[in-house]
Structure 1
Amino acid sequence: MENVSVDAISSGAKILDVREDYEWEAGHIDGALHIPLDSLPDRLDDLDPDTDLAVICRSGGRSARATAWLESHGYSAVNVTGGMGAWLEAGKPMVSDNGQDPTVV
């Protein structure tokens, strides 16, 4: 499994966020696809096996599990080291669904 830093993600990358709904609502990457880790097996058809995925969670643990699982099913995926915490620290843009300033919970 390959790990990449938030700075290594290109602006056009397809990002898969595997955090829970409440985490997503508090702050996420605009344009990312949200599939909570537990829902991934049921929503595998939502993903294009020919698209490279950058998988992200809060700190990197869930996304590492998701990346390994996706790779075992023939998908191309990399784990984002440090997750959304690293994204926030790097000053990367985020949006929220709750009307408040985006944050990582």
Structure 2
Amino acid sequence: MPTVQVTDLKDGDFLLDVREDDEWQAGHAGGALHIPLSEFVARYGELTEAAPQDGRVHVICRSGGRSAQVTMYLVQQGVDAVNVDGGMQHWQAAGRPVVTDDGKPGFVL
């Protein structure tokens, strides 16, 4: 499983958040693309439109389980994808900003 640590992510890295809507609304990484795992296959086209053609897709969820599933699927599709180890829990613990849709401080649900 290709994996990256939160601390290795740089500003501007493409981030795909596969948590469900209630988790996203509580707080997420600014600039992330949100496609819930439960809708991922149906909305796959949104990822192909948004993802950089020559860049890596960093997949994140709450703790790393759901994002691991999506990462494996993407790798099988030939996408350069990695799972963010520890997910949003590690993101928040590392002091990375967690925001709501209106830009206010959020939290990991």
Name the TM-score, length of structure 2 as normaliser: 0.89
Q: When the two structures are aligned, how many residues end up with a matched partner?
A: 105
The CA deviation string for residues 28-80 of structure 1, in whole angstroms up to 9 with x for no partner, is 00100000012111111112362310000000000000100111112111000
Give the superposition deviation at 1:101: 3.7
Alpha carbon RMSD of aligned pairs, Å?
A: 1.7
Aligned amino acid, residue 93 of structure 2? E
Quick check: 1:41 aligned with 2:45? Answer: no
1:66 corresponds to:
70
Tell me which stretches of 4 or more aligned residues in structure 1 moved more than 3 Å.
97-101
Q: Equivalent pairs: percent with the same residue?
A: 50
Unaligned runs of 5+ in 1: none
Conserved 8 A contact 2:17-2:59: yes
Aligned amino acid, residue 11 of structure 2? S
Between 1:28-37 and 1:43-52, the stretch displaced more is 43-52
1:55 corresponds to:
59
Between 1:90-99 and 1:72-81, the stretch displaced more is 90-99
